[in-house]
Chains A and B, each alone.
Chain A
Amino acid sequence: MTAVGSVTLACPAPLDASDRVQLGHGSGGKMSAALLRQRFLPALANDALAQLGDGAVVNVAGVEVVVSTDTFVVSPLEFPGGDIGSLAVHGTLNDVAMMGARPVCLTAGFVLEEGLPLDILDRIVRSMADAARLAGVPVVAGDTKVVERGKADGLYINTTGIGAADARFRPAPERARAGDVVIVSGAIGRHGMAIMATREGLAFETTITSDSACLVGLVERLRMARVDVHVLRDPTRGGVASALNEIAAASGVGVEIDETVLPVPDDVRAACEVLGLDPIYVANEGILLAFVPAGDAERVLAALRSHPLGAGALQIGRVITRHPGVVALRTSLGGTRIVDLLPGDQLPRIC
């Protein structure tokens, strides 16, 4: 202990490790990574799972296919720019596409809460069907369970996507290399802020809409550009910051991004300012990050911009050899700050 005048300085004892699942375990940050590393991987270990990509490449009777699964628990079920049904299609198809594969089919599992109005269920299933039809990927199998009132938040959906792997187009998180540039296909932070703005208790009005969209067509443009895309990632939960951290860690490289070019829409920035949130940690559902050799950057940008979802594509950073595993952000004033994985959920600040 130390004294400041008559004042005594002290600080508290360490916390005991928590023995319960917390919301932060689902944040996409360090708590999520620890849960995966400590609880799931040791028990379920196999080569395909160890890839830790958006999905796994598995060999089915001599044919390589990509499998990816995701569970959607968004609240509210319907939000500006989308709903849980279309989101469940987009999210999983996007994960398959980020593996460089062409999605072939989807399965859908529903957990319905007793009391859910059937007209809401109808709307969500129709939205799901429309999204699958637009993507040209049928839902070929499904399952439904109903749980007692109070045991689910209306409706949860799990979707699994199967895709045909492409041996010539195989982006992966561990393939980032020094000299690569980092490209983002569009504006960041829209999905997360649209959800937050419509949730109970938020005391301001906004017109922010989710960016929820199927990225399969956009990835096709990249495939047609015949560029060796090293990494593709859709920065969903945990946002751009978490996705870049995962890539930096998987590839053992440093990533530097430039704040002045980050495409944050004014309404997203304003909402983040009000809530004390950082848009680079906010979820997206309709953009991708691409790591490509610097010499191919212009071709990749042209390919992305040729598709409506990639019209705003631009380079936001680069890969370096310095500070491996770390993502740094060059601020608009020329300073540097570290963009780390958050321990848990991003929490709004008081001041």
Chain B
Amino acid sequence: MKYLTEYRDATIALPLIERIKRTATRPWTLMEVCGGQTHTIVRQGLDELLEGAIEMIHGPGCPVCVTPLEQIDKALMLAARPEVIFTSFGDMLRVPGSDCDLQQVRARGGNVRVVYSPLDALEIARRNPDREVVFFAVGFETTAPANAMAVWRARELGVPNFTVLVSHVTVPPAISAIMQSPDNRVQGFLAAGHVCAVMGWTEYEPLAKRYRVPIVVTGFEPLDILEGMLMAVQQLEAGRHIVENQYVRSVRREGTPAARMRVEEVFELADRKWRGIGEIPMSGLRLRPEFAAFDAELKFGLGDVHVNEPAECHAGEVLTGKLKPPRCPAFGTRCTPERPLGALMVSAEGACAAYYHLAKYRGSGDSAAAGAVS
């Protein structure tokens, strides 16, 4: 635990916060792309501590938040099939599909199991040869290597009853989509350290140059994030826009070649829809044709699923920093953590849920909270 406590040391963090405040001659708007960083920022109250110096926009880097409704509905269809054991990471279980979520499918008799690794799902398949085991392969470049490994192992071991429902997305196209938006407010990015630990940061260099935006590869502990913020603010104040690496203890420029190789062997780039944002060209991963036998969509003939998404929830605008959650007409009334309209209200650390709790603390559903947290 020494490793963790070192990066949560208040005696280092508090002077760092003061330094960021002194360095920022004006308020800067940064986006942390990753849900793991959002988690740390909200848990530690970093946004509150930096109020006035930095406005943090919680970006689209939460795989729970951006998995499209079509894929959730496909997951629900598969989980409801009697011959299927549907396996998933835990936090996908409460994400609303068109008319229910995976927990509700389980309550109605679906065999839905939480796993901590896709290799655990593969093991369930090996132990249950008379059942079809499907793993919900969601996430960014971080979960892709393990998911690729599970598929690769399934082929190596000849496990015919294991398939994956793929909904992988990649970060750089999302950064492009955000920066190309006409009303974009993001002035600098904290890039997710674990994504870069796999993929490196070479893909980010042309983005920083093209959009003239600082991108700092950042870790997940409070001190990592504060350092990343400081580095981004220093660049902004100096008018620089390059990729810098705060997370030197874990990330190399070229990433982890072995993991990249496995991902590239099993997956290929494809157009992918993001929930709340829409389709972003070549922003996702899909199984290569030689691994088609492990594609749940093909095996179960799911085809295209048609969904209707009314504009009741404005998650996309929240994810791109255009709308504060309390300004959403459904916030706290038709959309609550118990009955979420969108994924941002699902997790206790989601941007909308964070505001919901803060509003309760401040005794206000709107303005008092709106200025305090981004």
Contact check, B276 vs A10: say whether CB atoms are below 8 A apart. yes
Closest to A25 in B: B107
**Chain A residue contacts of B96, Cβ below 8 A:** 12, 14-15
Report whether B341 and A14 are in contact in the complex, using a CB–CB cutoff of 8 Å: yes
Given A13-B312, A335-B49, A348-B116, A31 and B36 touching (CB < 8 A)?
Answer: no
Q: From known contacts A10-B309, A333-B46, A349-B39, infer whether A15 and B314 are also in contact, taking CB-CB under 8 Å.
A: no
A23 interface neighbour in B62, B106, B311, Cβ under 8 Å: B106
Q: Is the CB of B8 within 8 A of A332?
A: yes
Q: Does A22 contact B (CB under 8 A)?
A: yes
Q: Pick the contact of B358: A31, A338, A342 (CB < 8 A).
A: A338
Of A11, A31, A328, A343, the residue contacting B313 (CB under 8 A) is: A11
Do B103 and A23 touch (CB < 8 A)?
Answer: yes
Across-interface contacts of B104 in A (CB, < 8 A): 15, 18, 20, 22
Q: In the bound complex, do residue B177 and residue A7 qualify as a contact, i.e. CB atoms below 8 Å apart?
A: yes
Docked pose: A328 CA to B91 CA in angstroms: 24
Q: What is the chain B residue whose CB lies nearest that of A201?
A: B120
Q: What number of A residues sit within 8 Å (CB to CB) of B?
A: 55
Determine whether the beta carbon of A9 is less than 8 Å from that of B49.
Answer: no
* Whole-angstrom CA separation of A4 from B278 in the bound complex: 9
* B177 near A5: Cβ-Cβ < 8 Å: yes
B70 shortest CB reach to chain A, Å = 10
In contact, B311 and A11 (Cβ under 8 angstroms): yes
User: For the complex, what is the distance from the CA of A7 to the CA of B280, rounded to whole Å?
Assistant: 7
A145 shortest CB reach to chain B, Å:
24
A326 adjacent to B194 (CB under 8 Å): no
For B261, what are the chain A residues with a Cβ–Cβ distance below 8 Å? none
Interface bin, chain B: 35 or more
Q: Does A12 lie within 8 Å of B69, measured CB to CB? A: yes
> Does more than half of chain A's interface fall in helix, strand or loop, or is it mixed?
loop
**Cβ-defined partner of A18 (8 Å) among B107, B138, B143, B335:** B107
A9 touches B278 (CB 8 A): yes
User: Which of B14, B43, B313, B334 contacts A12, CB < 8 Å?
Assistant: B313
Please give, as numbers and ranges, the residues of chain B lying within 8 Å of A351 by CB-CB distance.
Answer: 34-36, 39, 61-63, 139-140, 142-143, 192, 194
The answer to whether A7 and B90 touch across the interface, beta carbons within 8 angstroms, is no
* Chain A nearest Cβ from B93, distance in angstroms: 6
In the complex where A14-B341, A347-B90 touch, is A334 in contact with B49 (Cβ < 8 A)? yes
Whether the pair B357, A337 counts as a contact (CB closer than 8 A) is yes
Question: A10-B309, A14-B339 given as contacts; is B34 within 8 A of A337 (CB)?
Answer: no
Q: Looking at the assembled complex, report how far the CB atom of A335 sits from the nearest CB atom of chain B, in whole angstroms.
A: 2
- Asked if B278 and A328 sit within 8 Å, CB to CB, the answer is no
Contacts of B334 in A (CB 8 A): 14
A187 to chain B, nearest CB (A): 14
Residue in B42, B89, B177 whose CB lies within 8 Å of A348: B89
- Answer yes or no: A261 CB below 8 A from chain B CBs: no
List A residues 247-285 near B (Cβ within 8 Å). 260, 266, 269-270, 273, 275-276
Determine whether the beta carbon of A332 is less than 8 Å from that of B339.
no
Chain A residue contacts of B335, Cβ below 8 A? 14
* Residue among A4, A260, A351 having the largest count of chain B Cβ atoms under 10 Å: A351
Given contacts A12-B96, A13-B309, contact A343 B338 (CB under 8 A): yes
CB within 8 Å for A347 and B177 given contacts A5-B182, A11-B276, A15-B100: no
B278 partner residues in chain A, CB cutoff 8 A: 4, 7-10
Check B337 against A335 for contact (C-beta < 8 Å). Answer: no
Choose among B17, B46, B312, B338 the residue that contacts A11 (Cβ–Cβ < 8 A).
B312
Q: How far is the CB of A259 from chain B (nearest CB, A)?
A: 9
In chain B, positions 63-114 with a C-beta closer than 8 Å to chain A are 63-64, 69, 89-94, 96-101, 103-104, 106-108, 113-114
User: B100, A350: Cβ atoms under 8 Å?
Assistant: no
Identify the stretch in B19-27, B227-235, B315-323 within 8 Å (CB) of chain A at 4 or more residues. B315-323
Taking CB atoms, residues of chain A closer than 8 Å to B307 are: 12
Asked if B347 and A203 sit within 8 Å, CB to CB, the answer is no
Ordered by A's residue number, 27 sampled pairs between the chains whose C-beta atoms are within 8 Å are A4-B181, A4-B316, A4-B320, A7-B181, A7-B316, A11-B311, A11-B313, A11-B342, A14-B312, A15-B340, A18-B107, A276-B91, A326-B361, A333-B13, A333-B14, A334-B14, A336-B45, A338-B357, A340-B337, A340-B348, A344-B103, A347-B90, A347-B93, A347-B94, A347-B114, A348-B89, A351-B63
Apart from A1-B311, A22-B104, A201-B115, what are 15 other A-B pairs with CB-CB below 8 Å? A4-B178, A4-B316, A7-B316, A11-B311, A14-B339, A15-B99, A269-B4, A273-B4, A275-B116, A332-B44, A333-B10, A347-B114, A349-B36, A351-B34, A351-B35
Seen from chain A, the residues whose Cβ lies within 8 Å of a Cβ on chain B are: 1-2, 4-18, 20-24, 30-31, 34, 201-203, 260, 266, 269-270, 273, 275-276, 323, 326, 328, 331-338, 340, 342-344, 347-351
Please provide the 7 A-B residue pairs with the shortest distance between their CB atoms, ordered closest to farther: A335-B45, A9-B316, A11-B313, A338-B357, A347-B90, A348-B90, A20-B107
